[in-house]
Amino acid sequence: MVVTFGEIMMRLQPPGYQRLSQTKSYDAVFGGGEANVAVSLANFGIDAKFVTKLPDNPIGAACKGELARWGVDTSDIVLGGGRMGLYFCEKGASQRASVVVYDRAGSAVAMAKPAEFDWEKIFSGASRFHFTGITPALSDDMAAAVTEACIAAKGMGVKISCDLNYRKKLWSRQKAKEVMTKYMPYIELLISNEEDAHDVFGITAQKTDITKGEIDIEGYKSVAEQLADFGIPKVAITLRESISASRNNWSALLLADGEFFVSKKYAIDLVDRVGGGDSFGAGLIYGILSGMTSAESLEFAVGASTLKHTIEGDFNIVDSSEVHKLVSGDGSGRVQR
């Protein structure tokens, strides 16, 4: 079983390409870095448990039900006070970027106390633990809870993965660096993109302008190496070339036990890019758990996350056979009859 721990929010999004100022209705989906990883793993057939705190009201119940609907173990979700964190998201198109208005303050999980999570019980039967940089950014209590989780996991032989995922509206770079640095010794697999590595640790890839969509592989390799210097066995970097809000190129590299792997690159017509990075993490974890080689795991992860970009909602609702089919070369999009 893989355990993930963090925040899950309601995303309120105008239908189609409407702006927030135009809409009369919102499509509502639930998602969050760690929940997305759990759902994707469950869809791959891996036992996955998501741990969080939700408000004890119909909105919290709807969220919990949605996780159960995709096969996630919700038995260790805490119910209680606080609200459902949410955000308004307007989908970009072509030269118009997506816009996000966060409204996550005061959420049940941000106000949770470390003692509400019983890690020994939670990790019983678990082989891996995953969290992202968003979880400790929510509050000092959540940062402390992550510390406790890491210690417990290590003690129980549970391997730990982390996606850096820096959120500037939640904490400063300085605070992020300070807190995240403490977790690094526990991490077996670290996932990042160039921006996050820079925002959290000040690590930079030379010659790359993320707003131009050009990729400099050598620069990214150097980022991975600097991250691995924390003593982390596996470091993965996702590489997004944003041509526009409608088109992205997507690939990744992996530094595993000193060896570099660079994936195939996909040119994607975007349906919904939220959760793209999370689905990469889930794909990588699945590859590792399934005994794939590092190269295979990386290709699986990039293929899985490519598919995520074509699916509405945060969750990567694909099974492993669909990913294998894409990775094995059929991206032609011919009808599956």
Residues in region 107-166 near a copy of itself by CB under 8 A: none
Nearer residue to a copy of itself within complex by CB, 187 or 274: 274
CA distance 145 to 71: 25
Residue 11 binds a copy of itself (CB under 8 A): no
CA distance 284 to 46: 13
* Span from 64-72, 150-158, 184-192, 293-301 in contact with a copy of itself (CB under 8 A): 64-72
CA distance 199 to 137: 13
Residue 83 binds a copy of itself (CB under 8 A): yes
Residue 79 binds a copy of itself (CB under 8 A): no
CB 322, CB 311: distance < 8 Å: no
CA distance 219 to 207: 7
Residue 336 binds a copy of itself (CB under 8 A): yes
Residue 121 is encoded by which pair of tokens?
């019980």
* Span from 90-98, 111-119, 223-231, 253-261 in contact with a copy of itself (CB under 8 A): 90-98
Candidates 70, 230, 260, 261; binder of a copy of itself (CB under 8 A) is 70
Q: What is the CA radius of gyration of the chain?
A: 19
Residues 187-226 that bind a copy of itself (CB under 8 A): 210-213
Amino acid at 19: R
Nearer residue to a copy of itself within complex by CB, 91 or 128: 91
Nearer residue to a copy of itself within complex by CB, 158 or 318: 318
Residue 25 binds a copy of itself (CB under 8 A): yes
Assign residue 157 a region (left: φ > 0; alpha: ψ between -120 and 50; beta: otherwise): left
CA distance 157 to 161: 13
Residue 320 binds a copy of itself (CB under 8 A): no
Residues 220-259 that bind a copy of itself (CB under 8 A): 242-247
Candidates 99, 155, 218, 229; binder of a copy of itself (CB under 8 A) is 99
Beta strand pairing call for 259-262 and 247-256? antiparallel
Candidates 93, 184, 217, 295; binder of a copy of itself (CB under 8 A) is 93
Half-sphere exposure of 215 (CA within 13 A, CB side): 20
CB 269, CB 243: distance < 8 Å: no
Residue 324 binds a copy of itself (CB under 8 A): no
Amino acid at 172: S
CA distance 119 to 121: 5
Residue 217 is encoded by which pair of tokens?
């592989």
Residues 6+ positions from 252 with CB-CB distance below 8 Å? 236, 237, 238, 239, 262, 263, 280, 298, 301, 302, 305
Nearer residue to a copy of itself within complex by CB, 82 or 129: 82
Least Å distance, CB 288 to a copy of itself, is: 23
Residue 264 binds a copy of itself (CB under 8 A): no
Crossing angle between the packed helical segments 173-183 and 140-155, to the nearest 10 degrees: 20
Residue 80 binds a copy of itself (CB under 8 A): no
Least Å distance, CB 271 to a copy of itself, is: 5
Residue 45 binds a copy of itself (CB under 8 A): no
Least Å distance, CB 47 to a copy of itself, is: 13
Residue 180 binds a copy of itself (CB under 8 A): no
Residue 88 binds a copy of itself (CB under 8 A): yes
Nearer residue to a copy of itself within complex by CB, 115 or 267: 267
Size of the site for a copy of itself (CB under 8 A): 84
Residue 119 is encoded by which pair of tokens?
């890690």
